[in-house]
Structure 1
Amino acid sequence: MTDFSYIDSNAGLSTLCERAASADFVALDTEFIRTDTFYPIAGLVQVGVGGRSYLIDPLEIDDWAPLVALFADESLVKVIHSCSEDLEVFQRLLGCLPRPLLDTQIGAALAGLGGGMSYQRLVEAVSGVHVEKGETRSDWLQRPLSDRQCLYAALDVDHLQGVYQALRGSLERQGRLQWWWDECEQMMTSAASPAGNEGYYLRVKGGWKLRGKHLLLLQRLCEWREQQAQEQDVPRGRVLKDQACFDIALKSPGNVNQLAGIKEVSPKLVRRHGEGILDIVSSAMTAAESEYPLPIPAPPSGDDLRKFKSLREFVQVESEKLSLPPELVLKKKEMESLVRDGRWPDNLPGWRKTVLGDGLGRFLKVQGA
């Protein structure tokens, strides 16, 4: 039976953080709801330390200073599995991120266990224990939480403690522990400085097809959509879907009827925001060229596509030699950048250059990239 304690007071949180501060590492996880909101709503914060699990109730705690201080303690390693959504929860709840942090999903990939492993699969691979995941979609804002919910949540940081120690030992033996640190530090740097609202347009499918004032319109429309979603605390697609943003940017409607004729633009949206959207369209269409964003790089085509396919095959072969997932060695966008620019992408952890070595340089030279 998993040993856990339920923390629902400021005093209890302070005591836990004092105890955790003397440990070598803490395992972390969160449970949250994000069905109808832009921001995640924390339902539970789990801390695993010293072989025990603690369930912190964010609906009862109002003094988070002890946990913020713990997260800022550089001598204490924080461990999370597949941390991206948890980091959003912490940023929203605490206004900070836990550092230094090691992500066990990344660690498992570097250890040769496979890419993108779920927590359930990783625990089974490391310890042979099957963890049930039946409460994944339950209501974490209900109170009281059920016994099954508490057990599920406690197990998420209970087994994580042993998984971390096993991965760390394996990576030390393979000489890859620093790789783990490098990958996670790069990830945390990106998480701490996310692209602003004005940068979302880069994520819209097909955005590379737009140029000049139409790309500027997409940028401004996406920025407006982000602001609206945040102010209303609703999913961005509830305001305007990505496809609608692209279609408006492409067609640049000049009046309400033209706007209403665009697929995915609802009558409700036209009534509520039609004039505001048309103002954005007009502003972008009459903007000076100096305001246009740089073109989004297009996917490889022609000779670049041939080079990209050859590079992907090269990375596949090298990855198999290292028992690493190809996407961990070089991601698709990084390979596209290599082919397009003929140089190593900026800000990549140095271990990748080490493992690819001179072979990549020779390959690029032969390919003429």
Structure 2
Amino acid sequence: MSQITLHKGDLPKGLDFGAVVAVDTEAMGLNPNRDYLTLVQLSSGDGTAHLVQLTRDFDCPNLKALMTDPKVVKLFHFARFDIAMMRKWMGITVAPVWCTKIASRLARTYTDRHGLKDVAREIAGVDMSKVQQSSDWGAAALTDAQIQYAASDVLHLHRIKAGLEAMLVREGRLGLAEACFGFLPVRAELDLAGWGEEDIFAHS
């Protein structure tokens, strides 16, 4: 049984998530320039999860320090969105990062199903529920179902990373993936600045 701890406002001092921390966020919607960031979930991959229910002043120095620590890799699924949300609302540039969605797209070229639910099922053998995905994440008190859902999004990412990393090595694409991960903070800045849908690398 996973151990889930909910914190209000910030992480407590002294928590050690190791060299790689799995991270996910919940927000009031999918538009970083409009929709507030409300929750950040974290796991060290040991079956425990820490959830930080943010306040609207985003006064969370311990969480910000972890997200910007150059010695700790932040592991996401679809990091582009989470990095943009943290840039907009927390005022930080999250780095370094590792994204299982990009890794899946580069490694699992035999499928077009790269959502977390599909990747988790194939790589980690885990069936994840997405029932709470569109619930009210700005509520003062989160339901038990919301808390369980939010934690599930980070509890399995370390295993997924290990599986995808092995596939990337096998296919000779790990270096390409790592270059993409390094570009993600810039990609998030482009999204926030209005180039979310435009391919600036296209010829015309």
Q: Deviations over 1:181-220 (max 9, x none)?
A: 11122232232355746x79x95xxxxxxxxxxxxxxxxx
Establish whether residue 133 from structure 1 lines up as the match of residue 107 from structure 2: no
2:8 corresponds in structure 1 to: 8
Label 1:154 to 1:107 Cα distance change in 2 as closer, same or farther (>3 A).
Answer: same
Where does residue 91 of structure 1 map in the other structure? Answer: 87
Contact map agreement 1:45 1:58 (CA 8 A) in 2: yes
Gap regions ≥5 residues in structure 1: 204-330, 341-369
Which of residues 180, 184, 204 in structure 1 aligns to 2:181?
184
Give CA deviations for 1:38-88 in whole Å, capped at 9, x if unaligned.
422122110111422111110388532222222222221111111232222
The structure that is strand-richer by fraction is 2
* Mapped partners of 1:155, 1:196: distance in 2: 31
- Equivalent residue number for residue 47 of structure 1: 42
Residues 198-209 of structure 1 aligned to structure 2 (within 5 Å): none
Post-superposition offset of 1:174: 3.1
Note closer, same or farther for the CA distance 1:187–1:50 as it changes in structure 2 (3 Å cut).
closer
SS in 2 for 1:133: coil
Deviation at residue 130 of structure 1 after TM alignment: 0.9
SS at match of 2:146: helix
Cα offset, 1:9, TM superposition: 5.1
The alignment yields a C-alpha RMSD, in angstroms, of 2.8
Q: Aligned ranges for residues 97-108 of structure 1 at < 5 Å? A: 97-108=93-104
**SS across alignment from 2:142:** coil
Query: Residue 156 of structure 2 aligns to a residue in which SS?
Result: helix
1:25 corresponds to which residue? Answer: 20
Determine the C-alpha separation between the residues in 2 that align with 1:75 and 1:14.
Answer: 17
Change (3 A) 1:183 1:90: same
Greater helix content: 1
**Structure 2 regions of 5+ residues with no counterpart?**
none
SS of 1:63's equivalent? coil
Contact 1:2 1:151 in 2 (8 A): no
Query: Is 1:82 aligned with 2:78?
Result: yes
Q: Secondary structure at the match of 2:13?
A: helix
8 A contact 1:39–1:92 mirrored in 2: no
1:16-49 Cα deviation digits (max 9, x unpaired): 3xx12xx121111111103899422122110111
In the superposition, the TM-score normalised over structure 2's length comes to 0.85
Scaled by the length of structure 1, what TM-score is found? Answer: 0.49
Moved more, 134-143 or 147-156: 134-143
**Is the Cα–Cα contact under 8 Å of residues 79 and 103 in structure 1 kept in the other structure?**
yes
Q: CA contact under 8 A between 2:24 and 2:76: conserved in structure 1?
A: yes
Does structure 1 residue 117 correspond to structure 2 residue 114? yes
Of stretches 30-39 and 166-175 in structure 1, the one that deviates more from structure 2 is 30-39
Counterpart CA distance in 2 for 1:165 and 1:60 is 35
With CA pairs under 8 Å and 6+ residues apart, which has the higher RCO, 1 or 2? 2
1:148 Cα deviation from its structure 2 partner:
0.6
Counterparts of 1:74 and 1:166, CA distance in 2 = 24
Structure with bigger gyration radius: 1
The 1:37/1:174 distance shift into structure 2, 3 A limit, reads closer
